[in-house]
Amino acid sequence: DGGITQSPKYLFRKEGQNVTLSCEQNLNHDAMYWYRQDPGQGLRLIYYSQIVNDFQKGDIAEGYSVSREKKESFPLTVTSAQKNPTAFYLCASSWQQGEKLFFGSGTQLSVL
C-alpha cells in the first residue's frame, strides 16, 4: 500500500530537549512538507522540500529544522528554541510543488 507514514502518533518533550518527528513516503513524490496545526488556526507551513538535499523555510520555520537526505524521508526536529511546541504536526507530499497533497496521519506533540 502506498502512503505516508508518520511516527510516533504521540510524543512528549521535556523542557530544553530536541525531539524528532519521522515522515516516510513510498509514493515516489518529489515534494514533501511539514505543517503545524493549532486548534482553530488551520494549517501553517513550517518547511518544504522540492528535491533531495534541498529545502526551504515556510511561514513559521523558527525553532524547527529539517533534512532531506533521501527522497522517501523528511524528518522534522523541534528544537529547544521552539518555546510553544504543543501542536498537531502533519507531514504531506506531492509529485511536485503546487500539486495536490497527500497527508500522513499526524503526530501530536505535547510538553511535559
Question: For another protein, which is the closer residue by CB, 43 or 65?
Answer: 43
- Residue 75 CA to residue 22 CA, distance in Å, equals 5
Residue whose entry in the numeric block shows the C-alpha cell 530544553: 16
In 8-106, where do the E strands start and end? 10-13, 19-25, 31-38, 42-51, 54-57, 64-66, 76-78, 87-94, 102-103
- Residue 8 CA to residue 106 CA, distance in Å, equals 9
Q: How far is the CB of 11 from another protein (least distance, A)?
A: 14
Q: How far is the CB of 80 from another protein (least distance, A)?
A: 26
Q: How far is the CB of 42 from another protein (least distance, A)?
A: 4
Binding status of residue 108 toward another protein by CB under 8 A: yes
Q: Which of 26, 70, 95, 111 binds another protein (CB under 8 A)?
A: 95
Binding site for another protein (CB under 8 A): 4, 6, 33, 40-43, 45, 48, 50, 58, 88, 90, 92, 95-106, 108
